[in-house]
């Protein structure tokens, strides 16, 4: 399954810090982590002693691959380790994610600072990893001790526990911003040129006239304030020339009612066609004339 934003014609961004899931409990969460990694160009997935092993067949594998939503290449390339020490052996710098203060005297940073630093380290040739603990308990103090620094999220202190994939997503977002952000992936469609002040004022004068004719300004003593409020609303819209034309046409139709197409068709009909469409009595009268 792939999402609406998937475009296989574009180059796949890869690299970034390794995402190390320590004792993950649910295969479906591993799949969702892979999806979050793919969203933000992370491609090094490492698994340390998953609770149910790393399923290559059966229902657990099916659940993980379905949750990955197209990022199955990360699951297929995931590396499995028996110990955390083995998983981080080739890394030069390691962050440990945790919502709790561990009293280990380590530097603590938010994801934006941590990923900015990581981007600089990786650009200089270093290898960086980020540890994520098991869903229910998080990492223990000995596992945290392996890391160089702690990465924590600015969350509600009364409810600081994040879903595993959500944590990976937040870190991935900050990583992509730090390493690859070039602005929005698509741009706003080009609009018509801005309307001149003369054009906007002319429209508003017409609009105000029609409101006056319809009895909108009641009581009359409030008209000045009502007019100013409406005028300010119009100017805040930053209307284009096409916007003004469209609004002007819409007001005209509201005031004048539907276009009189029936009358136009009637003027264009031939006498013979008109006689054929008229009631029998009228047709007979016309034929006598």
Domain hosting residue 247, numbered range? 190-259
158 in the same domain as 199:
no
Q: How many residues does the chain have?
A: 289
Residue 7 belongs to some domain of the structure: no
Residue 27 belongs to some domain of the structure: yes
197 in the same domain as 106:
no
Task: Kindly report the pTM of this predicted structure.
Answer: 0.64
Radius of gyration of the chain (CA): 34
Residue 13 belongs to some domain of the structure: no
Identify the CATH number of the domain in which residue 65 sits.
Answer: 3.40.1280.10
236 in the same domain as 114:
no
Residue 140 belongs to some domain of the structure: yes
Q: Which of 4-8, 36-40, 188-192, 210-214 has the lowest mean pLDDT?
A: 4-8
Domain count, the chain: 2
203 in the same domain as 173:
no
Q: What is the tens place of the pLDDT at every residue in 160-170?
A: 788 899 999 99
Q: What is the tens place of the pLDDT at every residue in 66-77?
A: 777 777 888 888
230 in the same domain as 169:
no
From CA 202, how far away is CA 251, in angstroms rounded?
A: 13
Residue 264 belongs to some domain of the structure: no
171 in the same domain as 30:
yes
DSSP secondary structure of 163-209: PHHHHHHHHHHHHHHHHH--S-SS-PPPPPPBPPHHHHHHHHHHHHH
Q: pLDDT > 70: what percent of the chain? A: 79
- Widest Cα–Cα separation across the chain: 110
From CA 73, how far away is CA 271, in angstroms rounded?
A: 75
Q: What is the tens place of the pLDDT at every residue in 62-114?
A: 777 777 777 788 888 889 999 999 999 999 999 999 887 777 888 999 999 99
198 in the same domain as 173:
no
Residue 265 belongs to some domain of the structure: no
Of residues 186 and 285, which shows the higher confidence score?
Answer: 186
Residue 69 falls in which region: left (phi positive, over 0), alpha (psi -120 to 50) or beta: left
From CA 174, how far away is CA 162, in angstroms rounded?
A: 16
- Cα distances (angstroms) measured from residue 152 to each of 111, 223, 267: 7, 56, 77
172 in the same domain as 204:
no
Of 158, 180, 202, which closes a domain? 180
155 in the same domain as 46:
yes
120 in the same domain as 65:
yes
């Amino acid at each position: 399954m792939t999402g609406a934003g998937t475009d296989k014609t574009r180059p796949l961004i890869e690299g970034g810090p390794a995402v190390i899931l320590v004792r993950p409990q649910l295969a479906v969460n591993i799949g969702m982590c892979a999806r979050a990694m793919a969203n933000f160009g992370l491609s090094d997935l490492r698994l340390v002693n998953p609770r149910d092993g790393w399923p290559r067949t059966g229902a657990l594998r099916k659940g993980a691959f379905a949750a990955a939503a197209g990022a199955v290449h990360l699951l297929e390339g995931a590396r499995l380790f028996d110990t955390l020490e083995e998983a981080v052996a080739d890394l030069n710098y390691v962050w440990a994610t945790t919502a709790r203060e561990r009293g280990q005297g380590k530097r603590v940073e938010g994801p934006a600072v941590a990923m900015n630093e990581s981007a600089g380290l990786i650009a200089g040739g270093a290898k960086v990893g980020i540890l994520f603990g098991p869903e229910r308990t998080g990492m223990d103090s000995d596992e945290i001790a392996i890391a160089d620094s702690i990465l924590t999220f600015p969350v509600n202190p009364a409810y600081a526990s994040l879903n595993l994939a959500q944590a990976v997503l937040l870190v991935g977002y900050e990583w992509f911003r730090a390493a690859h952000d070039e602005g929005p992936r698509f741009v706003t469609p080009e609009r018509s040129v801005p309307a001149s002040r003369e054009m906007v004022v002319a429209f508003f004068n017409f609009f105000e006239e029609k409101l006056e004719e319809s009895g909108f300004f009641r009581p009359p003593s409030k008209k000045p304030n009502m007019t100013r409020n409406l005028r300010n609303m119009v100017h805040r819209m930053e209307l284009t020339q096409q916007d003004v034309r469209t609004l002007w046409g819409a007001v005209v139709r509201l005031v004048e009612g539907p276009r009189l197409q029936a009358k136009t068709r009637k003027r264009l009909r031939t006498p013979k066609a008109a006689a054929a469409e008229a009631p029998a009595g009228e047709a007979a009268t016309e034929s006598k004339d």
